[in-house]
Amino acid sequence: MKIVVENVGKKFTDAKKKEVTALKDINLTIEEEEFVVLVGPSGCGKSTLLNIVGGLLSPSEGQVYFEGIQGKNPNLAIVFQEIALFPWRTVFENVTFGLEEKGVSKKEREEKGKHYIEMVGLTGFENAFPKQLSGGMKQRAGIARALSVEPDLLLMDEPFSALDAQTRTIMQEELLTIWDRTRLSTLYVTHNIQEAVYLADRVIVLSRHPGQIKAVIKIDMPKVGRDQDQYRSQFEQYSNEIWNLIRHDAHEALKEA
Amino acid sequence: MENNRQVIKNRVAFLDKKIPTYASVLGITGLLIIWETVCRLQIVPPLFLPAPTAIVTAGWDMISSGELFKNLLASLYRIGWGYSIGAIMGIIVGLLLGFSKWADAIFTPIVYSIYPIPKIALLPLIILWFGIGEMPKVAIIALGVFFPVLINTFSGVKSVDPILIKAAATFGANHFNVIRKVILPGALPTIFAGLKLAAGTALLLLVSAEMIAAQYGIGAMVLHYGNLMITNKLMVGVLLLSFLGLVFNRTLQWLERKLIPWK
């Protein structure tokens, strides 16, 4: 099973009724158990692309489809940058929301809820409301909510960008451990190059005006342990390569209001 | 050496100053004492302002004769039904208008043209429609409650964060479940603001309607004793209304805390 993004383009009409091309000719495939990261400067349309893949936005051209899924309805889950936990639901109720909507039995919901809450390290907080949690813990619940539906494709839209730098580092490590256990096909959006190199099997670099694929970089390092000394120079090489691709666009983005 | 020391004092200590609990009792007892004294010294004739003790005595008489209970029950029946019907309808219609763009476009102009009418002006018309039984009083209260609740529910729905609706849709929720599990709870704090606002309106309409067309009820009772110039019994009715308003508000506050534990 794989996910194919085929000739996808997206046009918006801006406030001055002018047509803006946000995405153009996007073609990419996410293989089974592959972790693909989209990077690009702000305004390159990476979140737009993720929203199109996630079914929250219609493309102006092209389509996104699952291949080899044998007639079953593809199962998606999104981890949002804004976290988007329901404030009126406890951690457990939030985590099992997707299962509830799938009509999963109460018993199974309890088992899976417990399992994934434990996986993200929130055991003991099942009955807390989101308001009572720290930012990192909230996003852990957001991740557990996405994992609990055991999606065919996991989408993550800058999930850690609202967190402080230290929490972020810890969360990246934890995400990798979790991913290693679940092996879900994943599309991950970030503007953080180190994060991309640390997590990705493949990094897709987008340019802006219009958002197009500038380069696809396969990260040829073992999935776990890229922060170790022996990979330091390789890690830096990848980071520099990506930064050099983005640098010009990032400077341009800065000049815009 | 000792003289050079400058202790830094907390300049904002007043912000977290603790006030003893008896302070709030103090104000109301003070008022009652002044009131009683003014009456005892006959500065104001008892016809204009009866003493608190005289009101209590009158109140006790009315309780033991069963008169107070009968009137209170009649009023509670009207406000209970009127408020419940108006509130439930207001919430349902508000949710629909907030969720469906068609319903919004068609019905919102109608709602806004009826909303500013002081509902008591419709009482004669409603009496013509429903006769002079309990129906018109219940209807007028329901109508008065309906609009503020509807408008608050509507704006509550509009203020629900779209990312939460997207999240619910992503995890497979259909339209009905989006309303039930996301929009309704998200709008609940604003709905409660409307419910509290409507509580005052309901009480006002109850008394007005009872003064215009009722045999029993607190409003009718107050008017009756006013006409007879029995001021201490009139005051019993007025104080009962104040008490009723207080209980009403407290009940809503309690319900709000129960239903919105995440705030």
The phi, psi pair for A150, rounded to 5°, reads 45, 65
What's the rounded Cα separation, in Å, for the pair B63 and B52? 16
Domain span at residue B34? 19-49
Residues of A contacting chain B (CB within 8 angstroms): 54-56, 76-78, 80, 82, 84, 86-89, 97-98, 101-102, 129-131, 145, 149
Residues of A in contact with B168 (CB under 8 A): 86, 97, 101
Whether residues B41 and B135 share a domain: the answer is no
Whether residues A96 and A133 share a domain: the answer is yes
Domain count, chain B: 2
Cβ contact B167–A76 (<8 Å): no
Burial of residue B247, with CB atoms counted within 10 A of its CB: 0-12 exposed, 13-18 middle, 19 or more buried: exposed
Residues of B in contact with A80 (CB under 8 A): 163, 166-167
* pLDDT above 60 (res B1): no
The residue of chain B with its CA nearest to that of A87 is B262
pLDDT for position A190: 93
B171 — contact with chain A (CB < 8 Å)? yes
Whether residues A241 and A179 share a domain: the answer is yes
What are the helix (H) ranges across A36-161? 46-53, 91-95, 97-101, 106-119, 135-148
Question: Can you tell me the mean pLDDT for A90-108?
Answer: 95
Residue B113 lies in a domain: yes
Whether residues A67 and A160 share a domain: the answer is yes
Residue ending a domain, choose from A150, A172, A199:
A150
Of chain B, the percentage scoring pLDDT greater than 90 comes to 77
* pLDDT above 90 (res A231): no
Provide the whole-model pTM: 0.81
Of chain B, the percentage scoring pLDDT greater than 70 comes to 99
Whether residues B45 and B71 share a domain: the answer is no
pLDDT tens profile A34-51: 999 999 888 788 889 999
Whether residues B45 and B69 share a domain: the answer is no
Quickly list DSSP for B107-133. Answer: HHHHHHHHTTS-GGGGHHHHHHHH-SS
Residues of A in contact with B261 (CB under 8 A): 88, 129
Whether residues A130 and A244 share a domain: the answer is no
Whether residues A158 and A228 share a domain: the answer is yes
Residues of A in contact with B178 (CB under 8 A): none
Whether residues A117 and A229 share a domain: the answer is no
Residue B1 lies in a domain: no
Whether residues A243 and A205 share a domain: the answer is yes
Residue B14: pLDDT band (50, 70, 90) is: confident
Residue B2: pLDDT band (50, 70, 90) is: low
pLDDT tens profile B25-34: 898 899 999 9
Residue B11 lies in a domain: no
* pLDDT above 60 (res A238): yes
B172 — contact with chain A (CB < 8 Å)? yes
pLDDT for position A257: 58
Whether residues B151 and B28 share a domain: the answer is no
Residues of B in contact with A131 (CB under 8 A): 262-263
What's the rounded Cα separation, in Å, for the pair B192 and B262? 14
Whether residues B23 and B127 share a domain: the answer is no
Whether residues B42 and B149 share a domain: the answer is no
Of chain A, the percentage scoring pLDDT greater than 90 comes to 64
pLDDT for position A42: 80
pLDDT for position B248: 94
Q: What is the mean pLDDT of chain B?
A: 91
Whether residues B143 and B34 share a domain: the answer is no
pLDDT tens profile A198-216: 999 999 999 888 888 999 9
pLDDT for position A71: 73
pLDDT tens profile B102-144: 999 999 999 999 999 999 999 999 999 988 888 999 999 999 9
Facing B167 at nearest CB: one of A84, A88, A149: A84
Domain span at residue A136? 89-150
Residue A217 lies in a domain: yes
Residue A83 lies in a domain: no
Pairing of strands A202-207, A35-39: parallel
Residue A188 Ramachandran class (φ > 0 left, ψ -120 to 50 alpha, else beta): beta
Residue B193 · residue B47 · CB < 8 Å: no
| CA–CA min distance A3, chain B (Å) | 17
Question: Can you tell me the mean pLDDT for B60-68?
Answer: 93
pLDDT tens profile B146-200: 999 999 999 999 999 999 999 999 999 999 999 999 999 999 999 999 999 999 9
Burial of residue A209, with CB atoms counted within 10 A of its CB: 0-12 exposed, 13-18 middle, 19 or more buried: middle
* pLDDT above 90 (res B36): yes
Residue A81 lies in a domain: no
* pLDDT above 90 (res B263): no
pLDDT for position A148: 94
Q: What is the mean pLDDT of chain A?
A: 90
Q: What is the CATH number of the domain that holds A57?
A: 3.40.50.300
What's the rounded Cα separation, in Å, for the pair B57 and B51? 10
Whether residues B128 and B203 share a domain: the answer is yes
Whether residues B113 and B26 share a domain: the answer is no
* pLDDT above 80 (res A28): yes
Please indicate whether residue B225 or residue A15 has the higher confidence score (pLDDT).
B225
Cβ contact B262–A131 (<8 Å): yes
Whether residues B33 and B161 share a domain: the answer is no
Question: Can you tell me the mean pLDDT for A24-33?
Answer: 92
